[in-house]
Chain A
Amino acid sequence: MALTQQHIDQEIAAEHAAYEKRVADGAPVEHHPRRDYTPYRSSVLRHPEQPPVSIDTSRDPEMVELHSPAFGERDITGIDNDLTRQHTGEPVGERITVSGRLLDRAGRPVRGQLIEIWQANSAGRYAHHREQHDAPLDANFTGVGRTLTDAEGRYHFTTIQPGPYPWRNHVNAWRPAHIHFSVFGAAFTQRLVTQMYFPNDPLFAYDPILQSVTDDAARQRLVATYDHGLSVPEFSLGYHWDIVLDGPAATWIEEGR
């Protein structure tokens, strides 16, 4: 029998209730999704069953994981952060500006680090050969961008509002519009791949990937805020999205920065 949205909705509700009960019983808040989140079917055979082995980085400040590769000016060109200028013509869709700050858990800006994004076009189609969604490709939009954070940890992208798209997790599965982000911190231990969503999307409740973040407040942190101050007159609408990296970094004092 085909898996329906109603079935997935029940599983999402059960996972949410189980989380609420864990927290009520004294368990810690879970900021990240569990890797074994059944409503997202692709996770079922791909999550470790053994708990991860915990490493106390403060006991070994020399470990490779605390010293990330550096990214710098050679790794990007000036317009890599403008996805509307990668082809000779204008892409179709609503232009948007996305900006925010990259911070560590102490609220300090993470400077000079690489942020990469990728996304579907305005019709909800990726420029990927295995993408089978029957929506038009846009010859003037590839949907890939890169930038480095500045001295205040700020990043800035100009792109096109992506469309929602179907994805076959179950019958009538549609993903809310989103932009994928890949972020490097000041250490390998802070590496993050995530997705930014747009405010007030009616698809939020139906999407097991977004709902895999079972903590309501944590899930809200994946949704950008419309920011009129970031909108560019006669050009684009602005969204603000700050990113906070988890995980330890070598202390700044030890590195003399």
Chain B
Amino acid sequence: MTKIDTSGPEHVLPTPSQTVGPFYGYALPFRGGEDIAPLGHPDTVTVHGYVLDGEGDPLPDALVELWGPRPDGTVPQVDGSLRRDPATGAYLGRNGVEFTGWGRIQTDPNGHWYARTLRPGARGRGAPYLSVCVFARGLLMHLFTRIYLPGDAAALAGDPLLARVGDRRDTLMATDEGSGTYRFDIRLQGEGETVFLEFQ
């Protein structure tokens, strides 16, 4: 039955995940999805990389979603990432001023993606990070991970997740390429496999 009976928790069971499939490309990506930072903001950083399979081949049909807090650590709760044109229904673009914190990027034919966003601020006990969700053809359920940016060595050393994952820590750390640009590859399988997360 797909009318959920909410009279008891034993009836409220999750809807299973399915692959995003190969043909989301005309539906989910939107122009400017990668431009999360307000135009010309001085704290803008570029984060980029490849999504790679178990043979090291890049995925041309993956989708990456990013969430990040503001530089002061607060999480934006404003809409407007996907602003629409009321006349045509077409994507109108972000308004260029507000920071919604959210972006969606399709890998290009070379399996590469990039986003321009604001450097996130710390929240709670951990080091600051960008939250990531990865979808792709062949992935029956999305994958969560995090991007930590190098810089504050003390905060990174004290981060509970980075401490837990031991020698796999580097898979969660972006590499500083200078000029506010950071490289972060997502390896779905095999040597150097990215640490993926599940939330409970």
Interface residues of A (CB under 8 A from B): 31-35, 37, 40, 42-50, 52-57, 60, 62-65, 67-80, 86, 100-101, 103, 105-107, 114, 116-118, 120, 126-128, 130-131, 142-144, 146, 180, 182, 188-189, 191-195, 209-210, 212-213, 217-225, 240-248
Q: Chain B interface (Cβ within 8 Å of chain A)?
A: 1-4, 6, 9, 11-28, 53-55, 57, 59, 65, 67-69, 75-86, 89, 100-102, 120, 123-126, 129-131, 133, 135-144, 160-161, 164-165, 168, 188-190, 193-200
Q: Is the CB–CB distance between A55 and B200 below 8 Å?
A: yes
- CB atoms of B189 and A47 under 8 A apart: yes
Give, as a whole number of angstroms, the nearest-CB distance from B118 to chain A.
Answer: 13
Contact B23–A65 (Cβ < 8 Å) = no
A-B contact pairs, 17 of them (CB 8 A): A33-B17, A42-B137, A45-B138, A47-B139, A62-B123, A69-B100, A106-B9, A107-B4, A131-B23, A144-B26, A182-B20, A188-B133, A218-B14, A219-B16, A221-B14, A240-B2, A241-B2
A74-B84 in contact given A33-B141, A49-B189, A57-B200 (Cβ < 8 Å) = yes
Most chain A CB neighbours (cut-off 10 Å) among B84, B143, B188, B199: B199
Chain A interface helix/strand/loop/mixed: loop
Given A60-B125, A75-B79, A130-B22: A217 in contact with B16 (beta carbons within 8 A): no
Which of A64, A105, A142, A195 contacts B68 (CB under 8 A)? A64
For B138, give its contact among A43, A73, A127 (CB under 8 Å): A43
**In the bound complex, how far is the Cα of B137 from the Cα of A47, in angstroms?**
11
* Contact call A116/B77, Cβ cutoff below 8 A: no
- Name the B residues within 8 Å of A116 (CB-CB): 27-28
The answer to whether A33 and B80 touch across the interface, beta carbons within 8 angstroms, is: no
Q: With A46-B53, A193-B20, A248-B199 as known contacts, state yes or no: A31 contacts B14, CB within 8 Å.
A: yes
| Extra inter-chain contacts (8) besides given A70-B78, A144-B26, A209-B18, CB under 8 Å | A43-B139, A44-B54, A45-B54, A48-B194, A65-B199, A72-B80, A144-B27, A213-B16
Q: Are A105 and B12 in contact (CB under 8 A)?
A: yes
Bound: A33/B138 CA distance, A: 12
Interface of B is mostly: loop
CA A86 to CA B101, docked complex, whole Å: 30
Query: Which of B15, B59, B144, B165 is A65 in contact with, Cβ under 8 Å?
Result: B144
What A residues does B138 contact at CB under 8 A? 40, 42-47
Q: Chain A residues near B101 (CB, 8 Å)?
A: 69
Q: How far is the CA of A106 from the CA of B196 in the complex (A)?
A: 26
Q: Closest 7 interchain pairs by CB?
A: A42-B138, A72-B79, A118-B27, A107-B6, A62-B124, A246-B14, A69-B102
A79 to B101, CA, bound (A): 26
Q: A60-B126, A213-B16 are in contact. Are A191 and B142 (CB under 8 A)?
A: yes
Residues of the B chain whose Cβ atoms lie less than 8 Å from the Cβ of A192:
15, 17
* Residues of chain B contacted by A55 (CB below 8 angstroms): 161, 197-200
- The complex places the Cα of A194 from the Cα of B135 at a distance, in Å, of 11
Q: Pick the residue among B131, B135, B143 that contacts A64 (CB under 8 A).
A: B131
Q: Can you name the residue of chain B whose Cβ is closest to the Cβ of A215?
A: B16
Residue of B nearest to A241 (CB): B2
Residues of B within 8 A of A244 (CB): 4, 12-15
Whether A193 lies near B22 (C-beta < 8 A) is no
Contact between B198 and A53, CB atoms less than 8 A apart: yes
